[in-house]
Chains A and B, each alone.
Chain A
Amino acid sequence: MTAPAVRTRRTSPAREALLGYSLLVPAFVVLGVFAYYPLYRLVHYALYRPNRFATREVYVGPSNISDVLGGDEFLDGLWITVKYVLYTVPTGLVLGLLLALAAHRHLRGIKVYQAIFSSTVATSVAVAAIVFFGLVNPEIGKFGDVEFISLARAESALRGVALTSIWQNIGLTFVIVLAGLQAVPDAVIEAARVDGFGPVRRLFRVTLPLISPTLLFLVVILLIFGFQAFAPMELLTNGGPARSTETLVFKIFRRQGPAQISEGAVMALGLFGLTFLVTLLQLTLLNRRVHYGD
């Protein structure tokens, strides 16, 4: 036998709101302390420079911001970062595409190759840097004297460092492009074959356009990785020779002390602006693509 039990009033909107807010507290506290508060302080340090002993601060104002952003250090760092991105993103994209196209087929044992290609996702930046240290370091590296990527010369050092990221990114780019390829319906490719498209034509006219959202996503990821590059530089060249591998993040990292923090803060804000632009680009491009693609 059943009988209606306790009559409870439904949760009032006020109680639901209270619960809603309280569940957000843990995450927002952490993000507040470690994301928003630091941002605020970056702005503060951009405008107020501490003295060497961190006892006093001098107001340097917005002109400080324009000075630093227009200054050699920041512009060098920016240019080096951009170069790094130019080295790592197109190669990463092409390599990932190549490997995924090769491994996206029905062959016995293809899974083994797929596992090999994706294996570099297991490497950390530090491990990848150490691996390449052994290959390109001028003194003890096997290919240390290859001019094009020599870490000993300012002209080529960045390229040598870039090898680390390129190699490390292979796993991720492969996994992502492969997923994109696997999502293309077989029926579409077969229709293209029936229509008489040869393999090259199929690739450029059918496959690539269909996976373009995935490729775009990948480009954005690689861009962000490129902008954030730090460990390879620190481990392989320590920023040299002659600061030729000092990316923005590297320069920021070196400006933790009170005497440099003001300059570093402006640079960090510059990096923030860069990240913002890239994200904006991603959102607009991706949205347009999605509408055409669907």
Chain B
Amino acid sequence: MAGVTFQGVTKRFGETTAVDALDLEIFDREFLVLLGPSGCGKSTALRMIAGLDEPTEGTIRIGDEVVNGVDPRDRDIAMVFQSYALYPHMTVFKNIEAPLVTRPMSVDGGPPRKLTKEERQVRVKEAAATLGLEPYLDRKPGALSGGQRQRVALARAIVRRPRVFLMDEPLSNLDAKLRTQTRVELVDLWRRLETTFVYVTHDQVEAMTMATRVAIIAEGRLQQVGRPQDVYEHPANLFVARFIGSPPMNTFDAVVRPGDGGLVAKVGGALVPLPADAGAVVDQEVVVGARPEHLEVHPDGQLDGIVRTVEVLGHELHVICEVAGHLLIVRQPSDRPAPTVGASVRLRPDPAHLHLFDAATGERLG
């Protein structure tokens, strides 16, 4: 079992920089999710752990050893691909067996050697049992459903008992219902195997529900790494703030002005008081962030807006208002009366949950 460390890792493909000076430590046995939009470099980072791509600069370690230049098959890792990458012409059994055939392994602490056919069979059956695949061992991938194929890909990964599991968007090819079910099963598997999982996805719901820590990547750069709750409550920059959370955080431009008892953010004509430790200076252009659950429709609210539409979700309402040229979403419990469309309302942000970001850099203030 081992962790993975990125030290100053950069990957360039010709003119494009896919990964930019990545410093990230992935702890042993944690479930780390690399989260980010398409093309942000997260898959490239994963492939570099696997050894399918090599860093242009920087070092990657698995455990304590530097693995730059080491062939993928010798890194003791396993990978589950987005498309599962099953060998279409081989049976499920042979697919799961494939990683065991050519590689010498150390058995019971002895020197590494090639496994015998019986030994391979035992391990394959074990892996198949863990994932409930015993009835399908003689079938070919073409005869299996999407969910079953995914489990075969997982079985092929666990059969070698590697020290790190890599997963590249494994749920994206499943339908919604299966996705939820498989999410639970994957986390369950992680607990049982007690091995490091590095998981790539663009879906923040997956990230938030599965990860022990989330690493958000955008344009090849690490934006923030932390536990899901921390990332949610204390986003390090505007990108993270907007990316995490559904519905997304409301953001609006403002200028910091002095006000009685402290600083205020001037949003259009409204003045929103800022907490004392906001970390901003007067005349600074900022972006104010408030999550939909931290805004409420209230007569004492500082923000003037017009209700554009009300979305009824059953357990709550989303009131979407136009305020100073921005569309803001307010989450409201269903038992509170909904404002009428077109009505003028006042919105009050919760001062304890205001986020402030520098307008130029996007960095968090305070």
Interface residues of A (CB under 8 A from B): 1-11
Neighbouring A residues of B106 by C-beta, 8 Å: 1-3, 5
CA separation between A119 and B107, bound complex, in Å? 61
B75-A1 in contact (CB<8A): no
Q: Which secondary structure characterizes the binding site on chain B?
A: loop
B105-A3 in contact (CB<8A): yes
| A2-B160, A2-B162, A3-B112 known; A8-B107 Cβ under 8 A | no
A10-B69 in contact (CB<8A): yes
B75-A4 in contact (CB<8A): yes
A9-B108 in contact (CB<8A): no
B70-A8 in contact (CB<8A): yes
Known: A6-B74, A7-B74, A10-B70. 19 other contacts (CB 8 A): A1-B106, A1-B108, A1-B161, A2-B160, A2-B161, A2-B162, A3-B105, A4-B75, A4-B76, A5-B74, A5-B105, A5-B106, A5-B112, A6-B104, A8-B74, A9-B69, A9-B70, A10-B51, A11-B71
Which single residue of chain A is at the shortest CB-CB distance from B75? Answer: A4
User: What is the minimal beta-carbon distance from B56 to any residue of chain A, in angstroms?
Assistant: 15
Neighbouring B residues of A3 by C-beta, 8 Å: 76, 105-106, 112
Neighbouring B residues of A8 by C-beta, 8 Å: 70-71, 74
B105-A7 in contact (CB<8A): no
Q: How many interface residues does B have (CB within 8 Å)?
A: 19
Interface residues of B (CB under 8 A from A): 51, 54, 69-71, 74-76, 103-109, 112, 160-162
User: What is the minimal beta-carbon distance from A176 to any residue of chain B, in angstroms?
Assistant: 29
Ordered nearest first, which 8 A-B pairs have the shortest CB separation? Answer: A3-B106, A5-B112, A4-B76, A5-B104, A10-B71, A8-B71, A2-B105, A2-B161
CA separation between A5 and B76, bound complex, in Å? 8
User: What is the minimal beta-carbon distance from B60 to any residue of chain A, in angstroms?
Assistant: 13
User: What is the minimal beta-carbon distance from A201 to any residue of chain B, in angstroms?
Assistant: 42
User: What is the minimal beta-carbon distance from B109 to any residue of chain A, in angstroms?
Assistant: 6
CA separation between A11 and B73, bound complex, in Å? 12
CA separation between A42 and B108, bound complex, in Å? 70
CA separation between A1 and B104, bound complex, in Å? 12
CA separation between A58 and B199, bound complex, in Å? 76
A-B contact pairs, 27 of them (CB 8 A): A1-B106, A1-B107, A1-B161, A2-B76, A2-B105, A2-B162, A3-B105, A3-B106, A3-B112, A4-B76, A5-B74, A5-B103, A5-B105, A5-B106, A5-B112, A6-B104, A6-B112, A7-B74, A8-B70, A8-B71, A8-B74, A9-B69, A9-B71, A10-B51, A10-B54, A10-B69, A10-B70
Which single residue of chain A is at the shortest CB-CB distance from B105? Answer: A2
User: What is the minimal beta-carbon distance from A239 to any residue of chain B, in angstroms?
Assistant: 53
Neighbouring A residues of B51 by C-beta, 8 Å: 10
Which single residue of chain B is at the shortest CB-CB distance from A9? Answer: B69
Which single residue of chain B is at the shortest CB-CB distance from A12? Answer: B69
CA separation between A3 and B65, bound complex, in Å? 14
CA separation between A199 and B274, bound complex, in Å? 76
User: What is the minimal beta-carbon distance from A20 to any residue of chain B, in angstroms?
Assistant: 18
User: What is the minimal beta-carbon distance from B113 to any residue of chain A, in angstroms?
Assistant: 9
User: What is the minimal beta-carbon distance from B138 to any residue of chain A, in angstroms?
Assistant: 26
CA separation between A11 and B147, bound complex, in Å? 36
User: What is the minimal beta-carbon distance from A19 to any residue of chain B, in angstroms?
Assistant: 15
User: What is the minimal beta-carbon distance from A232 to any residue of chain B, in angstroms?
Assistant: 44
CA separation between A7 and B72, bound complex, in Å? 10
User: What is the minimal beta-carbon distance from A15 to any residue of chain B, in angstroms?
Assistant: 12
User: What is the minimal beta-carbon distance from B112 to any residue of chain A, in angstroms?
Assistant: 4
Neighbouring B residues of A6 by C-beta, 8 Å: 74, 104, 112
CA separation between A10 and B67, bound complex, in Å? 11
User: What is the minimal beta-carbon distance from B141 to any residue of chain A, in angstroms?
Assistant: 25
Neighbouring A residues of B108 by C-beta, 8 Å: 1
CA separation between A4 and B78, bound complex, in Å? 12
User: What is the minimal beta-carbon distance from A9 to any residue of chain B, in angstroms?
Assistant: 6
Instruction: Specify which of B69, B74, B109 is in contact with A1 (CB 8 Å cutoff).
Output: B109
Which single residue of chain B is at the shortest CB-CB distance from A5? Answer: B112
User: What is the minimal beta-carbon distance from B134 to any residue of chain A, in angstroms?
Assistant: 23
User: Which of A1, A4, A8, A10 has its CB near the most chain B CB atoms (within 10 A)?
Assistant: A4
User: What is the minimal beta-carbon distance from A245 to any residue of chain B, in angstroms?
Assistant: 51
Neighbouring B residues of A7 by C-beta, 8 Å: 70, 74
Which single residue of chain B is at the shortest CB-CB distance from A8? Answer: B71
User: What is the minimal beta-carbon distance from A109 to any residue of chain B, in angstroms?
Assistant: 32
CA separation between A206 and B76, bound complex, in Å? 58
Neighbouring B residues of A1 by C-beta, 8 Å: 106-109, 161
User: Which of B51, B74, B104, B108 has its CB near the most chain A CB atoms (within 10 A)?
Assistant: B74
User: What is the minimal beta-carbon distance from B185 to any residue of chain A, in angstroms?
Assistant: 23
Which single residue of chain A is at the shortest CB-CB distance from B76? Answer: A4
Neighbouring A residues of B76 by C-beta, 8 Å: 2-4
Which single residue of chain B is at the shortest CB-CB distance from A6? Answer: B74
CA separation between A4 and B72, bound complex, in Å? 11
CA separation between A11 and B105, bound complex, in Å? 21
User: What is the minimal beta-carbon distance from A16 to any residue of chain B, in angstroms?
Assistant: 13
CA separation between A1 and B119, bound complex, in Å? 12
User: What is the minimal beta-carbon distance from B63 to any residue of chain A, in angstroms?
Assistant: 9
Which single residue of chain A is at the shortest CB-CB distance from B103? Answer: A5
Neighbouring B residues of A4 by C-beta, 8 Å: 74-76
Which single residue of chain A is at the shortest CB-CB distance from B106? Answer: A3
Neighbouring B residues of A5 by C-beta, 8 Å: 74, 103-106, 112
User: What is the minimal beta-carbon distance from B358 to any residue of chain A, in angstroms?
Assistant: 44
Neighbouring B residues of A2 by C-beta, 8 Å: 76, 105-106, 160-162
Neighbouring A residues of B112 by C-beta, 8 Å: 3, 5-6
CA separation between A236 and B112, bound complex, in Å? 73
Neighbouring A residues of B162 by C-beta, 8 Å: 2
CA separation between A10 and B109, bound complex, in Å? 26
User: What is the minimal beta-carbon distance from B155 to any residue of chain A, in angstroms?
Assistant: 16
CA separation between A3 and B74, bound complex, in Å? 10
Which single residue of chain A is at the shortest CB-CB distance from B123? Answer: A2
